[in-house]
A and B are shown apart, each in its own frame.
Chain A
């Protein structure tokens, strides 16, 4: 039992951090009314960026903690910029959010493959050693605390501060918010920045901590897993923090569940089935709960005569 815990606590910490950050990021962008169908492509791209940044920084600076730290930071910044471009495009023009999301997803897959391969080519030229993240059992406790702290801060901002209330108001009725003179574009740009930063952080930790390397296609479907957690947690940060424990646990214990006789296909598809069930439950039981229901303008093209 002790051995199992020694293995499980740090392993679960990596999965929990990756999927919770990704799910919370997706929640912020969707609470602002932007359908986040770009998530899987941009998660794949961020996990590739983290690897290539890590190779480049390790060549330029020396392999070590600083190089790894900088690659995580740069991945988060790059993804934040991409996400803010995504949310801005979806707001300044009355485009189909579904189509824009899918196109970002496709481009993310493609660029992810190119960017990661560039890192791999540099690696084979310079044979540089990357210092991947490793956390011992004692350090894992701080990771859990950090993740919970981030969730608490996001919750506080979204539900208690003026800025967060504005972001949610934009998700409910952007036209009305726009008519009061507040810039919908700025609100969504900001939510794109924060979401992208968190999703980029998730992608970077996935490559530099959870996997510890890169291969083409890495991260594929893991963005959707974050999306599924966000939906199953009803896009409500405290619930997401709880749901994410179960999803991450199921994912980490996958090999054990398999050896215990549970078909791998059942455990891999369970998060998706649970997410759909969660959507049905919330729509039936909370028809009037603004806190848990989908934002009213989610996925709807935004049109206002003049946009700055």
Chain B
């Protein structure tokens, strides 16, 4: 009788083949190949069309800039939490809360008319406050699972996933109720935010906003300094790698969990606020029906690809932006070659899911050596 077994052993030496960039590249390549096989099984699409469309998606970088910026922000938010083994799968909900905070401040708060008056001189302050409020609400939304994890030992993952749907409902309630717009052509949505509260378009790059680019730079550098240069960053890293050591050193483990959840939620909320002020300009009903672009979920892949290495967030965000844009590009450029009804949504989900699965499996080779043994 033949006995097949997987021998998994701890790895103590590092090698080039198990370095993060090598694993990242291999995952992307294998992810694409497996996705192609899956899609071929249903559509019989030829490989040349598939891979040349992926190449052209990467080459047309302009279309990737907007998802790149938001996935970088959200990827940073989730990565900071990952350092402390706080699995922030609730960035989607925090992102929505950030949108709510921003629109409240520029449209519905008592301060809105004062700050966004006719001369618009205080508009900058209003935008700053709106983004800060968005971050604050995102932070509050993330605090609940953080506190539950720290003080009741309830796992943050199911709590956050469920809270994402509650966030959608809160947004829908406000959009269809107290915040429902008057000038919406029959659609259930809010009115557009005041012109003076919109973020500033960079001339020549219609897709970019000065404030968003600046926020990405500030958040990225800030997160890097926090993790690498501060006591709190060190505590977060020890919490993620060896919580017993953190407790033994007399540090408050619970406080660190709560803080890391709040910081991560703040960045995700901030991203939501920037999205609303810079691109969406209003809230639409049924926000959970893809109106967020599911960036909060997609960014989990960014954080996974750059696992506990902030320097890799940007390249990972670029890969994920390409994967999610790839589906839409395929639908546009291969229209006649695909069966009717097969959607860009389907392709994007498959690319993202398969790449994440492949990466998750290959990544274990960083810590473990896996051998297939066949014995008689």
A residues whose Cβ falls under 8 Å from a Cβ of B:
35, 37, 41, 89, 92-96, 98-100, 102-115, 117-118, 120-121, 216-217, 221, 224, 227-228, 231, 263-266, 268-269, 272-273, 275-276, 279-280, 283-284, 294, 298-299, 303-308
A99 touches B360 (CB 8 A): yes
A110 touches B3 (CB 8 A): no
**Docked complex: B241-261 residues within 8 A CB-CB of A:** none
Point out the residue from A104, A224, A306, A307 that lies within 8 Å of B353, measured CB to CB. Answer: A104
B341 touches A94 (CB 8 A): no
B361 touches A269 (CB 8 A): no
B83 within 8 A of A: no
B360 touches A224 (CB 8 A): no
B residues whose Cβ falls under 8 Å from a Cβ of A:
3-9, 38-39, 42-43, 87, 89, 148, 152-155, 157-159, 161-163, 165-166, 168-170, 172-173, 176-177, 288-289, 297, 300, 304, 339-343, 345-350, 352-354, 356-357, 359-361, 363-364, 367-368, 370
A38 to chain B, nearest CB (A): 10
A270–B300 Cα distance when bound, in Å, is 26
Question: Which 3 interchain pairs have the tightest Cβ spacing?
Answer: A106-B353, A110-B349, A107-B353
Determine the chain B residues whose CB is within 8 A of the CB of A89 once the complex forms. 361
B42 touches A265 (CB 8 A): no
A104–B354 Cα distance when bound, in Å, is 8
24 A-B Cβ contacts within 8 A?
A37-B89, A94-B8, A95-B363, A95-B364, A98-B157, A99-B357, A103-B354, A103-B360, A107-B357, A109-B346, A110-B347, A110-B353, A114-B43, A221-B288, A224-B165, A263-B173, A263-B177, A266-B169, A272-B163, A276-B162, A283-B154, A305-B7, A307-B6, A307-B8
Determine the chain A residues whose CB is within 8 A of the CB of B153 once the complex forms. 283
Nearest neighbor of B344 in chain A, beta-carbon distance: A113
Chain A interface main SS type: helix
Determine the chain A residues whose CB is within 8 A of the CB of B300 once the complex forms. 99, 102
Please judge, given known A-B contacts A93-B370, A102-B356, A103-B357, whether A273 and B155 are in contact too, CB under 8 Å: no
Please judge, given known A-B contacts A224-B161, A280-B148, whether A303 and B368 are in contact too, CB under 8 Å: yes
B152 touches A107 (CB 8 A): no
A105 touches B353 (CB 8 A): yes
B55 to chain A, nearest CB (A): 21
A118 touches B154 (CB 8 A): no
Nearest neighbor of B358 in chain A, beta-carbon distance: A103
Nearest neighbor of B43 in chain A, beta-carbon distance: A114
Determine the chain A residues whose CB is within 8 A of the CB of B177 once the complex forms. 263
Determine the chain B residues whose CB is within 8 A of the CB of A272 once the complex forms. 162-163, 165-166
A228–B158 Cα distance when bound, in Å, is 9
A280–B360 Cα distance when bound, in Å, is 31
Point out the residue from A103, A115, A120 that lies within 8 Å of B356, measured CB to CB. Answer: A103
Determine the chain A residues whose CB is within 8 A of the CB of B162 once the complex forms. 224, 228, 231, 272-273, 275-276
B9 touches A104 (CB 8 A): no
A107 touches B154 (CB 8 A): no
B349 touches A95 (CB 8 A): no
Determine the chain B residues whose CB is within 8 A of the CB of A95 once the complex forms. 360-361, 363-364
A216 touches B304 (CB 8 A): no
A275 to chain B, nearest CB (A): 6
Nearest neighbor of A115 in chain B, beta-carbon distance: B42
Determine the chain A residues whose CB is within 8 A of the CB of B345 once the complex forms. 109-110, 113, 216
B155 to chain A, nearest CB (A): 6
